[in-house]
Amino acid sequence: MVITIDGPAGAGKSTVSRLLAERLGFHYLDTGAMYRAVALAALRENLLEDSRKLAHRLQTLQLAIQDGKVHLDGKEIENQDLRTVEVTAASTIVAAQTEVRDWLVGMQKEIGQTGNFVTEGRDQGTVVFPEAVCKFFLTAAPGERAKRRMEDLRKSGAPDLPSLEELEASIIERDRRDSTRATGPLVAAHDAILVDTTSLSKDGVVDKLESEARRKLAGVGVQ
Ligand code: DC
């Protein structure tokens, strides 16, 4: 059983997805962390500019994600290493590459078959789990999303914090790239429930999602 949560950066997906999974007793899958891990590998190995070499490297790259921990070629990656400004920018570039998407989408489908999941990303309700029982699409105004991203960066102890204006500009640019790419673009599934989180508290969003999810689950005979 899968519940999908898609939406742009900073719409509040991560925290809300994790909390919703906890309340429902589901696992949580952060698919953005998978794109970030590929981006980190590409940066480390200088493959970002060469999509053919990166596609080739995927044949040997070992990526594992379990209980929120990401392993690359058998080594655990610190969460803060996945959330630097460089990796964030590089993740949008690798996410536009069809080979990368095909590889990660296949992996995500397999993971989804191993239990009950709340999965979070951009294409979960449209491409990866079109048959999901319950789908959400979260949005928020760009200014509010920039503020939230800044808070996350501060908390994660990231060095060299950008200004709020820079963050908002990079969020808008990332939205543009994510929404216009040919494969798996950021778009709401036709049957997704849209939730604007701009003026809602985290608990308010989770309450709303939980009641919708429980209603949908009850509709298919799951308590
Ligand atoms: O959600 P995030 O900021 O951690 O995502 C990092 C990047 O990966 C972002 O540019 C969008 C991309 N992404 C994607 O294309 N598809 C997903 N399912 C998840 C993330």
How far, in Å, from the CA of 158 to the mean position of ligand 1? 19
Atom of ligand 1 nearest to the CA of 88: 6
Q: Quote the percentage of the chain above a pLDDT of 70.
A: 100
Give the pLDDT of residue 78: 95
pLDDT tens digits for range 21-36: 999 999 999 999 999 9
pLDDT tens readout for residues 85-144: 899 999 999 999 999 999 999 999 999 999 999 999 999 999 999 999 999 999 999 999
CATH topology for the 2-213 domain = Rossmann fold (3.40.50)
Residue nearest to atom 16 of ligand 1 (CA): 122
Domain definitions of the chain by residue range: 2-213
Q: What is the pLDDT of residue 109?
A: 98
How far does the centroid of ligand 1 lie from the alpha carbon of residue 95, in Å? 7
66-100 pLDDT, tens digit each: 888 999 999 999 999 998 889 999 999 999 999 99
DSSP per-residue codes, the chain = -EEEEE--TTSSHHHHHHHHHHHHT-EEEEHHHHHHHHHHHHHHTT-TT-HHHHHHHTTT--EEEETTEEEETTEEEPHHHHSSHHHHHHHHHHHT-HHHHHHHHHHHHHHHTTS-EEEEESSIIIII-TT-SEEEEEE--HHHHHHHHHHHHHHTT-SSPPPHHHHHHHHHHHHHHHHH-SSS-S---TTPEEEE-TT--HHHHHHHHHHHHHHHHHHTT--
